[in-house]
Amino acid sequence: MNPFQYGFVGGTDSHNGTPGNTAEDNFMAGSHGAANATVALRRTANVEGWLTARDTNPGALTGVWATSGTRLQVRVFAGAGFPDDLPRRRDMVAELPTLGPGQAPQLLVWARKDPDGADLERIQVIKGWVDGAGQPHERIVNVVRSTGAPVLAGLWRDPAFDPRQNALYYVRVLEKPTPRWSTLDARRAGLPLLADVPAMVQERAWSSPIWVVP
């Protein structure tokens, strides 16, 4: 058996000595010093002989939760039998105790946008488990969706909970799509978009997992 319960981390892996500089619109110095410090190099060069410069990115951040780079916030409250006014609750657990008969895990999810970033599009709960044959499974649920909001919150109860089965739940928060650094470079320099990289990115945050142990 694997005794470890893993969460998420995110790092910049920048070689510029600028930790925390993760904004797409501030990637004008690249990530590897002189190797991708200009628009032309970021579009055409290789970094350290093996990494295509156009595939680099500003990187990610880790605090209490991990994000893809923007400073949005996410919180998760877990339990069972919660009231409908759960958004006022302030206790949080990382591993659920044994649930009573007929109870299923409930997750209150909450997120707030980066003050300088895009509005939030959705909050998702991802459930993971391993079946009796040893095969891993994953289910993704959209708990809250919006066309764009500064704060999102919702309450979700697992309708397929099996109290005999180990499971984990974590939360993913997605911003509305925003231009990738390569798109911003092209606009500033009056150049065409690169055809082989995405024009947009969707920044996000991940919570630590919450584990259910029979």
Closest by CA to 92, choosing from 109, 80, 77, is 77
- The third-level CATH classification (topology) of the domain covering 71-212 is Immunoglobulin-like (2.60.40)
* Domain coordinates in residue numbering, the chain: 71-212
Rounding to the nearest 10 degrees, give the CA dihedral for residues 125, 7, 4, 213.
Answer: -30
Tens digits of residue pLDDT in 36-50: 999 999 999 999 888
Tens digits of residue pLDDT in 43-69: 999 998 889 999 999 989 887 777 888
Q: Environment class of residue 27 by beta-carbon count within 10 Å: exposed (0-12), middle (13-18) or buried (19+)?
A: buried
